[in-house]
Amino acid sequence: MIAGLRGVLVSTTPCVVEVGGVGFEVQIPEKDRASLTTGEVSFFTYLYVREDRLHLYGFLDARDRELFVRLIEVSGIGPKIAINILSAEPSERIVRAIRNRDTAFLCKLPGLGKKTAERLAVELKDKLAHLGAAMTGTARTGGEVREEAFLALVSLGLTNGTAERALEQIDWNSDDATSVEKVVKRALKDASAA
């Protein structure tokens, strides 16, 4: 799994990042493309593997990456639809609509019909609680620590689901929850005990 990519931006359309002499084509939301400037760039990435090809998806914000991963877990939503959804509206608005089961809004997003929008709202409503709080600014620090810890756990070999369950066991009000290293150690301990 390639969890992150840092290098020199070679092109924005398509987005190509050169790392150590190798150019990586990265699929990104349009809102991220609009804010890119020449020089060094860093993406939180997700490598989507199919039998016949690999696609690398990149995001300037770790919370957008997590929302993307959550979206593609829902039946009927592939990475192309997910990236188009993230391009269409701010992530904060999408998360709020999912948590409020605002299917009227969700149906307006590209690639979503009524049934898929309803499924999205049902399946992700409770899985995005921490993400919504982080995006609205309440507990932002905890949200950032959580996102970095999630990415670290996945890069250490845990599945998304296992990493998520381990992070759900963390007491986010404790002093230790402000340290990514301490959160990762605790989550790994909880994951190995499960």
Q: Quote the CA–CA distance of 36 and 143 in Å, as a whole number.
A: 24
CB 41 within 8 A of CB 7: yes
Task: Domain 4-59: give its CATH architecture.
Answer: Beta Barrel (2.40)
- What percent of the chain has a predicted confidence (pLDDT) above 90? 47
pLDDT of 41 > 70? The answer is yes
- What percent of the chain has a predicted confidence (pLDDT) above 70? 90
Question: What average pLDDT does the segment 4-12 reach?
Answer: 93
Task: Domain 62-131: give its CATH architecture.
Answer: Orthogonal Bundle (1.10)
pLDDT of 86 > 90? The answer is yes
- pLDDT tier for residue 2 given thresholds of 50, 70 and 90: confident
The alpha carbon dihedral of 162, 163, 168, 170 has a sign of: positive
Mean pLDDT of the chain: 86
Domain extents for the chain? 4-59, 62-131, 139-193
Q: Going by C-beta distance under 8 Å and a sequence separation of 6 or more, which residues neighbour residue 104?
A: none
* 170: DSSP letter: S
* pLDDT recorded at residue 16: 95
Give Cα 13 to chain centroid, integer Å.
Answer: 22
pLDDT digits (tens, 9 = 90+) for 102-152: 999 999 999 999 999 999 999 998 888 766 555 544 333 456 778 778 888
